[in-house]
Amino acid sequence: MPDPISSPRLNISPSNADKPDLDWSQVRETVMMLNLAIAQISGTLGDGEESVASLADSFTSMAGNVQTAHLAAEQLPDSTEKNTIINNCESVTNEMQQAIIAFQFYDKLSQRLMHVSKSLDVLGNLVSDPLKLYNPYEWKGLQEKIKSKYTVESERLMFEFILNGHSVEEALELAKQSKTEANSDDDDVELF
């Protein structure tokens, strides 16, 4: 039975870190770990999308019900009860708009994780191919491909900082500082 986390493109020998032999390779070990990360990201995204889809359906249904209640309340004669119903309908509508903003943040997170997953997959392919592994042009191409996927300035900055030799912590801090200094609105959520 094939190993579920190994890439079908890579022929994994019986040699591994637990039982190394003369055929053992850190490249195969690296590719297996990359494949594991890809599988975990993909599984998490799949689980999250199912939950978010269910919540989105529920919110759509609730929005329709609130709108119906609001319209029905408007037909009532003026009274304290009418005002209470309308105010509560408007309050629920506002709260649902806040939930929609949260969904948009989740969508943004999902897109970023999908980019990470695809980048790891491309990296795994490069590392597992001996003809590409030691070719600096292949590595530069990989870096340009990854960089071209970034749509947010803070991500591009982190990428640049990492390539310039900064640690992950430094890159995160420098990107955060640059974002603050530029007072960037690249990461704002679009309301609709």
| Residue whose token pair is 């070719």 | 135
Query: From CA 76, how far away is CA 34, in angstroms rounded?
Result: 62
The CA distances from residue 170 to 18, 125, 136, 146, 179, in Å, are 34, 28, 25, 20, 14
Structure confidence at residue 190 (pLDDT):
43
DSSP 19: S
Q: Which amino acid, residue 174?
A: L
Cβ pair 157, 175 in contact under 8 A: yes
Structure confidence at residue 138 (pLDDT):
92
Q: Count Cα neighbours of 8 within 13 Å in the Cβ-side half-sphere.
A: 1
Structure confidence at residue 21 (pLDDT):
62
Cβ pair 148, 115 in contact under 8 A: no
Structure confidence at residue 139 (pLDDT):
92
Structure confidence at residue 14 (pLDDT):
56
Structure confidence at residue 76 (pLDDT):
93
Q: Where are the domains of the chain?
A: 26-149
Q: Which regions in the chain score pLDDT beneath 70? A: 1-24, 182-192
Tell me the per-residue pLDDT of 38-83, one tens digit each, with 9 for 90 and over: 888 888 888 888 888 888 888 889 989 999 999 999 999 999 999 9
Evaluate if pTM is beyond 0.75: no
